[in-house]
Chains A and B, each alone.
Chain A
Amino acid sequence: MSIELRNIVKRVGSITHIKDTSLILEAGHFNVLLGATGAGKTSLIKLMAGLDKPASGQIFMGGEDVTGLSTQKRNISLVHQFFVNYSHMSVFENIASPLRVAGMAKPEIKTRVEETAELLQLQDFLKRRPSELSGGQQQRTALARAIAKESKAVFLDEPLANLDYKLREELRDQLPELFADRGAVVVYATSEPEEALLLGGYTALMDDGHITQFGPTAQIYHNPHDLVSASVFSNPPINVAQIEKKGDLAQMNEHVSWKLTGAAAGLRDGNYTFAIRPNHVAPFKTSDKSVAITGSVQITELSGSQSSAHFLAGNESWVSLASGVHNFQIGQDHQFFMDPDNCFYFSPDGKIAA
């Protein structure tokens, strides 16, 4: 199975929600749609699910043009961000409902529902109503309904966003297992870069209604095509600064400069945008090549084993994210270090240079 989008455009009134998008999603691995809220993830899923019609372009499923086909006929599953179940039906009936509509025989429905329920640890709740379940169980019921139906494509639209973090971790670990070997195209929308990395597979980065980059998750994390892709795939936001390259020297400002190596050294002299992920900026030296940046600390956050600090260096706002507990004085100047090997250089038009 595969889903192919060919030059899809979606407009609502005069606003373009999806800008000329082409994409091929394959079965066998997770396809993550990663982007901020409002980037168009849900719009794209609705188009693929047939709940919306594109203004132009074509959608193919398994090589067949389904652009004009109704949702009911596409044989797909969809799980929403918040828990949508049929409140007047028991959990059993909820899971069975797509099978009943499809006209499956009763004994077969029973075995299928019980199998799926066991997979999602719902076997003890089959007689209950969804309103009598916890949030996690309700979402598992929705997932069970999506899994029980043997569909060609499964769309998961931020299915874990409304769960508390423990349940989220538990279900996230389970998800790839649940959908493995089903032959269905699994599309998972999320706004969290960590989630994309944890789920693996392929990731499509979305920003402002179009896909900025698509490829194997780890690969596009390490090799962003452009500044936008690098920003989408970074949380906290990626640090960005302007530099001037002269010979083999990169000059950020009068205090900070470093020697360029590798591909960056071969760039033409001139102005570049430089970006480095917060986890490569630390309040301690990480290698001999570490470059020191001094900035006044504005905000600090301690999250378990990691400390993050937002600091101002010159006019630029920076974020550092380092393991361990570090104490910062708010408003005081602190020294931070970054390793130039871990940064990206973008030409003024935003494309990757090195």
Chain B
Amino acid sequence: MRKRSLIPIIYILFLMLPIYWLVAMSFKTTGEILSGFSLFPQTWTFDNYRVIFTDPTWYWGYINSIAYVSLNTVISVSVALPAAFAFSRYKFLGDKQLFFWLLTNRMAPAAVFALPFFQLYSAVGLFDTYLAVALAHALFNVPLAVWILEGFMSGVPKELDETAYVDGYSFPRFFIKIFLPTIAPGVGVTAFFCFMFSWVELLLAKTLTAVAAKPIAATMTKTASSAGYELGLLAAAGTLTIIPGAIVIYFVRNYIAKGFALGRV
């Protein structure tokens, strides 16, 4: 092995260590975790996973999370597509200011919006629904989606639009048949980032839900404070939480590199 590959290997090991520890913990009993240091599970157990897949309070947490995250991704991308198209193709009064203003929405911490959202959604009857969390997350994800998509769309020459119009495509037909397939990688990357941000966001999701739409991360924190420490169970839940993100990133891995090259991701 070459010497120069040593440093990246050490770095990757360093990055993998917490994930390994989490996965190893999920196969241990809580007693073993608390008893001391062990590199591998001494007694393998799948009990932790069995609990999660059989207890509705656990698996509904996953279903809830996936539901509002998917809903948010769909809302964010479909709202951002026309907005990004406008920013990339047209000049209008205050376009640059508006574009910047969109981004400033990402600059305030989520906690700032927790109270107004809670009050507003309670008042209009949205509290504890998927839509509540999905809409709240759109506040962060729509500007991000517009920003990423605008970068990809500006990379497509305006001549493509003109060629399609000359060929006889109407605007809607051009947008769906020609433009969207051309920027498909951008849509993939955008969807990935919306998914990620919504998936990892806890504060708003927790504040705006009670029972019916409670996310998995909220379930996890509650368990930690109730009947003692169920560390093995928590580790198993944590491991399962990583998986959706890993699946999504697998599908867009090539496009993300493209996004980085455009300087927008």
Chain A interfacial positions (CB closer than 8 Å to B):
46, 49, 51, 70-72, 75-78, 80, 82, 84, 86-88, 97-98, 101-102, 142, 145, 149
Contacts and interface: CB of A to CB of B under 8 A. Distances in A.
A49 B182 contact: no
Given A72-B169, A72-B170, A80 B178 contact: no
B159 A72 contact: no
14 contacts: A49-B166, A70-B165, A72-B169, A78-B163, A78-B166, A82-B157, A84-B157, A84-B159, A84-B160, A84-B163, A86-B181, A98-B168, A101-B168, A142-B163
Contacts of B163: 78, 80, 84, 142
A184 B170 CA distance: 23
Contacts of A76: 166
B103 to A, nearest CB: 27
A78 B181 CA distance: 22
Interface residues of B, number: 17
Interface string B179-198: 00110100000000000000
Nearest to B173: A101
Among A49, A51, A75, find the residue whose CB has the most chain B CB atoms closer than 10 A: A51
Contacts, number: 51
Given A78-B166, A101-B169, A101-B173, 11 more contacts: A51-B166, A71-B166, A78-B162, A78-B163, A86-B182, A88-B182, A97-B167, A98-B166, A98-B168, A102-B168, A149-B167
A153 to B, nearest CB: 10
A82 B173 contact: no
Most buried by A among B159, B166, B178: B166
B160 to A, nearest CB: 6
What are the 8 tightest A-B residue pairs by CB atom distance, in nearest-first order? A88-B181, A98-B167, A101-B168, A71-B165, A78-B166, A80-B159, A84-B159, A84-B163
A116 to B, nearest CB: 14
Contacts of A71: 162, 165-166
Given A49-B166, A72-B168, A88 B159 contact: no
B173 A51 contact: no
Contacts of B166: 49, 51, 71, 76-78, 98
A78 B164 CA distance: 10
Nearest to A70: B165
Nearest to A74: B166
A97 B168 CA distance: 9
Interface string B12-46: 00000000000000000000000000000000000
A51 B182 contact: no
A148 to B, nearest CB: 10
Nearest to B170: A72
Contacts of A102: 168
Contacts of B169: 72, 101
Contacts of B165: 51, 70-72
Given A51-B162, A84-B157, A145 B167 contact: yes
Contacts of A77: 166
Residue with the highest number of chain B CB atoms closer than 10 Å, among A49, A70, A78, A142: A78
Nearest to B180: A88
A149 B184 CA distance: 28
Interface in B125-182: 157, 159-160, 162-170, 173, 178, 181-182
Contacts of A82: 157, 159
Contacts of A49: 162, 166
Contact of B182 (A87, A97, A98, A149): A87
A83 to B, nearest CB: 9
Contacts of A70: 165
Contacts of B162: 46, 49, 51, 71, 78, 80, 84
A101 B171 CA distance: 12
Contacts of B184: 88
Contacts of A145: 167
A76 B170 CA distance: 14
A101 B167 contact: yes
A75 B168 CA distance: 8
Interface in B204-223: none
Contacts of A72: 165, 168-170
Interface centre among B167, B169, B170 (most CB of A within 10 A): B167
A185 to B, nearest CB: 14
A87 B157 CA distance: 12
Interface in B223-261: none
Contact of A86 (B157, B168, B173, B178): B178
A207 B168 CA distance: 31
A205 B173 CA distance: 38
A51 B168 CA distance: 12
Contacts of B173: 101
B188 to A, nearest CB: 13
Contacts of B168: 72, 75, 98, 101-102
A86 B160 CA distance: 8
Contacts of A80: 159, 162-163
A52 to B, nearest CB: 10
Contacts of A86: 160, 164, 178, 181-182
